[in-house]
């Protein structure tokens, strides 16, 4: 009897794992199909530049405050923590180098991506989801307008333009905040701070951060728009899709960042700056 119950529990666990795995494969397939439709829309040349410009204003300009505040205070906090530890070894002037590389390669793109996911990704899922449950997307199809070309493609293009620039802005304000704190708050010579910064930071480090921002922007757009297009059951479905958009895109960014970091390290290994 006991052995039979244990066998049933194992079967239930295996069935749960199998369902989860198949569900993930189905979800990845839907995301890939959406990406394929976007590529077809890109090749068609019907980019609707007015809608793209509107989305750039909403995504890029509208997200500046959260990105600037996040980048500045992250840079300041990281600089403070680094200074407190480096001072024990008498190398506090090298704080600029570690802060710069960390902001360019990791902290800038990841934190900017998470903030944009919470602000823009949720808005994308809510806007498209509301159109889905109110049958406005069906009306677009009746009028001969492809929903992906009209709703997703402008957001995709706007995110590809805005996200790398937002990451660069986050890095810049993080560096300025760290400089102000270390130089004016702890009397570290500004020349030493910037010299170590320049010696150990390459242009490619900034490029890596911006490239990660581009990848994260694509992830946010695909997942958020997909959740909006799949919304159902009225307002409850829209709210659920919005929540899933933020959670799924954030988790996907964190996982993909790990693999991106490993892959990009072969392009520009840490410690390769002269």
Q: Phi then psi for 201, rounded to 5 degrees?
A: -120, 130
Residue 170 lies in a domain: yes
Residue-level pLDDT at 168? 94
Enumerate the H helices of 87-189 as residue ranges: 95-102, 108-116, 122-133, 136-142, 147, 153-179, 186
- What does the DSSP 8-state code read for residue 201? -
Residues of the chain with pLDDT under 70: 1-11, 268, 270-274
* Rounded Cα gap, residues 127 and 123, in angstroms: 6
* Rounded Cα gap, residues 200 and 193, in angstroms: 11
Residue 57 lies in a domain: yes
Tokens of 193: 């701070």
Residue 18 lies in a domain: no
* CB atoms closer than 10 angstroms to residue 257: 18
Instruction: List, in sequence order, every beta strand (DSSP E) within the chain.
Output: none
Which residues neighbour 32 within 8 Å (Cβ) at sequence distance 6 or greater? none
Full residue range of the structural domain in which residue 248 is found: 47-265
Residue 19 lies in a domain: no
Residue-level pLDDT at 274? 46
* Rounded Cα gap, residues 18 and 7, in angstroms: 16
Residue 39 lies in a domain: no
Q: Is there a contact between 92 and 178 (Cβ–Cβ < 8 Å)?
A: no
| CA torsion angle 268 270 273 274 (round to 10) | -130
* Rounded Cα gap, residues 9 and 244, in angstroms: 29
Residue 237 lies in a domain: yes
Residue 41 lies in a domain: no
Total structural domains in the chain?
1
Which whole-number Å values give the CA distances from 102 to 96, 110, 169, 202, in the listed order? 10, 11, 15, 12
Q: Residue holding tokens 């760290």?
A: 178
> Torsion-angle region of residue 45: left (phi > 0), alpha (psi -120 to 50) or beta?
left
pTM: 0.88
Q: Residue holding tokens 């666990």?
A: 13
Residue-level pLDDT at 11? 67
């Amino acid at each position: 009897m006991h052995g039979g119950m244990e066998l049933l529990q194992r079967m239930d666990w295996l069935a749960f794992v199998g369902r989860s795995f198949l569900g993930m494969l189905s979800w990845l397939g839907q995301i890939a199909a959406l990406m394929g439709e976007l590529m077809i829309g890109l090749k068609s040349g019907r980019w609707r530049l007015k809608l793209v410009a509107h989305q750039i204003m909403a995504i890029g300009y509208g997200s500046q405050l959260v990105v600037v505040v996040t980048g500045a205070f992250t840079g300041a906090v990281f600089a403070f923590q680094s200074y407190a530890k480096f001072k024990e070894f008498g190398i506090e002037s090298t704080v600029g180098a570690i802060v710069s590389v960390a902001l360019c390669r990791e902290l800038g793109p990841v934190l900017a991506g998470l903030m944009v996911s919470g602000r823009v990704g949720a808005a994308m899922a809510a806007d498209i989801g509301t159109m889905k449950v109110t049958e406005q997307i069906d009306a677009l199809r009746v009028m001969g307008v492809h929903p992906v070309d009209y709703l997703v493609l402008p957001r995709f293009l706007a995110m590809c333009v805005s996200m790398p620039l937002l990451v660069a802005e986050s890095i810049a304000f993080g560096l300025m905040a760290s400089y102000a704190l270390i130089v004016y708050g702890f009397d570290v010579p500004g020349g030493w701070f910037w010299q170590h910064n320049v010696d150990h930071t390459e242009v490619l480090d900034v490029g890596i951060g911006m490239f990660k921002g581009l990848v994260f922007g694509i992830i946010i757009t695909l997942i958020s728009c997909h959740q909006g297009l799949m919304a159902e059951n009225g307002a409850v479905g829209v709210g659920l899709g919005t929540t899933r958009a933020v959670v799924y895109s954030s988790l996907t960014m964190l996982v993909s960042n790990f693999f991106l970091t490993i892959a990009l390290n072969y392009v520009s290994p840490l410690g390769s700056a002269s």
